[in-house]
Every structure is written in C-alpha cells, then in structure tokens.
Amino acid sequence: MSGDARPGEGRARWFVVAVILVLAAGSVAFLFVERRSGCDDSERYTVAVTADLAPVIEGTSVSGCTEFEVVEQEPGEVSARLATDDVPDLWLPAGGWWASWAGETATGPVRTVSTPLATTPLVIAGAPGTVEPAADWQEALSDPGLVFGNPLRSGPAAGAIRAVLAEAADDPVAMGTVRPVMAPLAEREGVRDEEVPTGSTLLEETVADGGTVVSTEQQVETYRSVHKRELGIEVPVTGTLLVDYPVVVTARGERHDAAAAAATALTDALHTSEGLDRMTRHGFRDGGGRPLPDGRGAGAVPVLELDDETVAEEAMNVWALQALPVRTVFAVDVSASMNRNLGDESRIELVRRAATAANEVLPGNVSAGLWFFGGGVSDYATLPNDRAEATGDYIVAAPIRRFDAVVDDGTQRDLLTSLVAQMAGTADETTALYDTILAAFRYVQDSYDPRAANSVVVVTDGADNGSAMSKDELLAVLSNENDPSRPVRIVTIGLGEDVDTATLEQIAAATGGVSYRTSDPLDITELVLTALADRTGG
C-alpha cells in the first residue's frame, strides 16, 4: 500500500476537527474597556479569552489611547478561527500549548510575546463529599461518573489529558497509558447531541446534578464567591498541571506590530500591583503558580509538566478518532476500465468485497451515502437515483444516513450492502471524475453536520476523460469553496498503475484530505476501511 498525505498533514490532523467546533460554540460575549478620557481617536484591539479571564481583562486600563474589545471564546474555538481570516488581534489561551498547536494550521502569525500572566491548577471538583481522592490522573479520569469536557475545545479537558501524559513521561509508549483512559470519555462525548458546556457553566451544572468534574482552582473559587457555598476539591497524589495564560499576537499584516505593542501595554498593566491584585481577586494565581493567599484554593501542589508536544498532538488525534462520528459519501468509479483485473479479480469485484467488509464492521453511528460514476451509469441496472440533474455522469444510489437508520424494511446498512452487491462495471470508458468530485463535495457541504467529520471518499482506477471542467478549474473551485469552519475532506483511493496519482493527490490536498494508491488487491479492503473510518481527512 502507498498512502502519502501532504507533508506535515499528520501533525496537524486534529486541528481540522477543532474547526468543526466553531459552529457548535455558544454565543460570543463582547465586553469593552472603558474609553480613556482625552482620547478622541483611540485604537481598539480585540482580545480573545475564556469567560473566566474576561472580567480581569475587561477591568484593565492601559496607558495611551488603547482600548480592548474582549471576545469570550474557548481556546479550541480560537484555534479554529486562526485557520480562517476571522481572527482576533490578541489571544490569551487557557493553556499556552494551544498557541503552538494552532500554529500548525493558522493562515497568519501566532506569536507568543509574554510569559504567563496568570496560572491556575487543574482540580477534580464536586459537591462536598462527592470527590474521592485519587492516586494519579489516570485513576481520577477513570471515574465513570466524572464529567470531562471536550479537549478539542476546552483548556481544562485538554490539560487533564496532558496531566496523564506527564505522569507517564518516563514511559516510551505513553499513549499506551492514556488511550484506555480516553476511550470511555470519548465514547460518552461521541453520543452527545449538543456541545458540552465549558468553564464555570460546566462546574455549576455538574455540581447541581451531584456529579464531579475536571475544573480549575479559579473556577472553584469563583463558584464559592458567587454561590456562597463550599465545594469538594481533590488533586491527585502525583500532582497537577497548571493551566497558564500567555499573551499571543495573532493580528495580520500591518496591524501585527501595533497589536504587539498593545500586548506589551496590556502585559505591563497586569503586572502592576493593581493588576496582580485583580488577578488574585478573580481566583487566578500569578504567572509563577504561587498559591492563593489567605488559605484559599488547593494550596501548594506538586506541578506536572509535559515536555514532549508530539505525544499531546497524538493524544488529540486519538480523541478525534474515538469521539467524532463519520459522515461521508462513498463515490465509486464503475466505468468499463473497472472491469479489468487487478491480480486475479476485477477491480470492481475487489471494491465490492472491500465495501461489503466495511459495511459489516463500521459502527451504527457512521453516516454514509453511496454514489456511482462513469459512462453509462444513468442506465445502471435498476438502482435508484436521488440526483436532480438529468445528465449521466453519476447517480446518487443512496443519500447520507446513519448506518442504523430505518430504511424501508431494513436499515441503511442493509441498503448499502444490497447496492454494493449490484456494483458492476459499465461498457463505457468515460469517467467524469472532476464533475463527480465537485458535485459530491458540494452535496456534503450543503448538508454539513458540525458535530461530525464530513468527507468524500472517491475510488477510481483512471484519469478524467469526460468532465465539463478541467483539473485546474476543479482545484480553483475547491480552493475557493473549501471553508475551514465547515471542512469537507476529500479522500481518494487510486487503484492500479494507470491511475493519475499526482492529480488525485492535488485534489485531496485542496481540501486538507489524503490520497492513497495501491496495486495490491490485498490492500483494498484495508484502504476502504481506513478511508471510511477517517474522522479528520489527514
């Protein structure tokens, strides 16, 4: 098997998933620093922060005629925005690691310009008497009643995974430690109909329901201050991870240097005695992680640190693979060339067996539709055609539905198995590959599901020889219509030696997808399963 993604694609894989979360996020609150007197023409900069930190920044005055518009967003949401043109000027992520992760896919600068302005340790929190001591984070996260959150969006949830990895820092296969911890958490996340709350909202809802939650010392202190009630908190014996808040400049173009100067002014203001006092009053520790005064919070705690970012990125990939459902169109070339043998069997027969195997093993929450394309496909047996257009480039044999959805007297899985069994090559060599790919891409994009990994999987053995558009036109349209906030990844599987590998790679790359090619019949089943199960396209 040859399966070569674009350079760097594997490292950035999970960031594609983070983009999906943007549309699922809650409303954004805008707060404004009071306009300074004597400034007729102040310069305003947007600052993206979590809701927990927003009151601190909102109350900060800086020298000169500079104002800050505070935008409340979770770090995973900002990471996604940085892959688009809709970016803040400054960002204070809940976890400095988000900046290095976001830099992998950002379309502009992501420059950290300060040491952490504040920190807060991770804790397990709940109503008094509900939080059990834990030897380590692996044990703490294994509690079946724990509410975890979404680590592709939330600083505390991502930090908890980092804590498990930090505990296993001396283990050469640290992922072997964290994977079984994440699996049940990801499974619970995958069945949610709505995005899990974050921050203080998650803490309040979980405590009200009698559960325990991954939180921070700052959120606990805010809860105690607002509700005038105590909470139970625990830090595992091994210690905990500090969520830190550096200042990151994300402004584009000529605005970048001015935003960096504004960041320096903001940093200086927060390092004054007044700024540090405001941080403390809102439950944050200083940048060095010193305990809160007056016996508040968790006190002195051992601090865990993760030095290897590659294992954290791998963990995010694992989470994405386990938590996000699949939603895809499976488009199969049935032109006459697919009747030729690859080894001892025809290519179409090999694809038929591979698709049947995939139908049998993929879980019920997978959503998939089936298309056939190639010359003469409009007369293809007696298959249904849900496509509105009358031309004969392709047919929609089955629209996208969950595998376990009821269809007629069976399920979508049953229907797809029946349709796959009828696959056969036509008598026409024409292959409108480009037209079909664009139509499938738009079909998935038009019915986009923000809580799934949306993709198009294309299986073909040849080059285009029947489309109305050229390759360059297709690539230009895909580049123009590919929306990072609504990503639809094209995954291609090329069969045999005659396939136009370079073109398929270009098409996949235009959407952040991946391209595979094989001449080995034994590889096809594995490739089809890999492509259909792919959550991120990379």
Distance of CA 344 to the CA centre of its chain: 41
Q: How far apart are CA 537 and CA 511, in angstroms?
A: 9
Residue 55 has pLDDT above 90, yes or no: yes
Residue 35 has pLDDT above 80, yes or no: no
pLDDT in tens, 61-107: 887 788 899 999 999 999 888 877 889 999 999 999 999 888 877 88
* Angle value at C-alpha 489, between 485 and 492, nearest 5 degrees: 170
Q: Across residues 404-421, what is the average pLDDT?
A: 92
Q: Across residues 339-363, what is the average pLDDT?
A: 88
Identify residue 218 by its one-letter amino acid code. Q
Residue 390 has pLDDT above 60, yes or no: no
Q: What is the pLDDT of residue 174?
A: 58
Confidence band (pLDDT; 50, 70, 90) for 401?
Answer: very high
Q: How far apart are CA 503 and CA 509, in angstroms?
A: 10
Residue 520 has pLDDT above 90, yes or no: no
Residue 332 has pLDDT above 90, yes or no: yes
Residue 11 has pLDDT above 60, yes or no: no
Residue 473 vs residue 32, higher pLDDT: 473
Q: How far apart are CA 395 and CA 388, in angstroms?
A: 9
Contact residues for 56 (Cβ-Cβ < 8 A; gap 6+) = 118, 270, 278, 279, 282, 284
Both tokens assigned to 66: 């500079």
Q: What is the pLDDT of residue 310?
A: 83
Among residues 288, 379, 314, the alpha carbon closest in space to that of 162 is found at: 314
Confidence band (pLDDT; 50, 70, 90) for 446?
Answer: very high
What is the average pLDDT score of the chain? 85
Residue 16 has pLDDT above 80, yes or no: no
Q: How far apart are CA 8 and CA 505, in angstroms?
A: 14
Report the first-to-last Cα separation within the chain, whole angstroms. Answer: 16
Confidence band (pLDDT; 50, 70, 90) for 171?
Answer: low
Both tokens assigned to 417: 């198995």
Contact residues for 446 (Cβ-Cβ < 8 A; gap 6+) = none
Both tokens assigned to 346: 């025809």
Cβ atoms within 10 Å of 145's Cβ, excluding its own: 13
Q: Which of 2-16, 46-60, 366-380 has the highest mean pLDDT?
A: 46-60
Helices (H) and strands (E) in the chain, counts: 18, 23
Contact residues for 477 (Cβ-Cβ < 8 A; gap 6+) = 438, 469
Residue 18 has pLDDT above 80, yes or no: no
* Angle value at C-alpha 351, between 346 and 355, nearest 5 degrees: 155
Contact 132, 303 (CB under 8 A): no
3-state secondary structure of 43: strand
3-state secondary structure of 90: strand
pLDDT in tens, 216-266: 999 999 999 999 999 999 999 999 999 999 999 999 999 999 999 999 999
Where does residue 253 fall: left (phi above 0), alpha (psi -120 to 50 degrees), or beta otherwise? left
Residue 514 vs residue 529, higher pLDDT: 514
Cβ atoms within 10 Å of 303's Cβ, excluding its own: 13
Contact residues for 524 (Cβ-Cβ < 8 A; gap 6+) = 350, 351, 353, 354, 493, 495, 518
Give the residue carrying structure tokens 């005659």.
498
Q: What is the pLDDT of residue 522?
A: 73
> How buried is 11 (Cβ within 10 angstroms: 0-12 exposed, 13-18 middle, 19+ buried)?
middle
Q: What is the pLDDT of residue 30?
A: 43
Of 22-26, 224-228, 277-281, 486-490, give the lowest mean pLDDT range: 22-26
Residue 453 has pLDDT above 50, yes or no: yes
Contact residues for 91 (Cβ-Cβ < 8 A; gap 6+) = 47, 48, 49, 78, 99, 247, 248, 249, 250
pLDDT in tens, 301-324: 999 999 888 888 878 877 876 777
Q: What is the pLDDT of residue 26?
A: 38
Residue 362 vs residue 375, higher pLDDT: 375
Confidence band (pLDDT; 50, 70, 90) for 132?
Answer: very high
Residue 244 vs residue 171, higher pLDDT: 244
**Which one-letter DSSP state was computed for residue 5?**
P
Q: What is the pLDDT of residue 24?
A: 37
Confidence band (pLDDT; 50, 70, 90) for 175?
Answer: low
Confidence band (pLDDT; 50, 70, 90) for 162?
Answer: very high
Q: What is the pTM of this model?
A: 0.67
Give the residue carrying structure tokens 């504040």.
118
Of 34-43, 114-123, 343-352, give the lowest mean pLDDT range: 34-43
Percentage of the chain modeled with pLDDT above 90: 57
Of 112-121, 162-171, 211-220, give the lowest mean pLDDT range: 162-171
Q: Could you write out the DSSP letters of every residue in 256-321?
A: HHHHHHHHHHHHHHHTSHHHHHHHHHTT-B-TT-PPPSTT-TT-S--EE----HHHHHHHHHHHHH
Both tokens assigned to 294: 């007056």
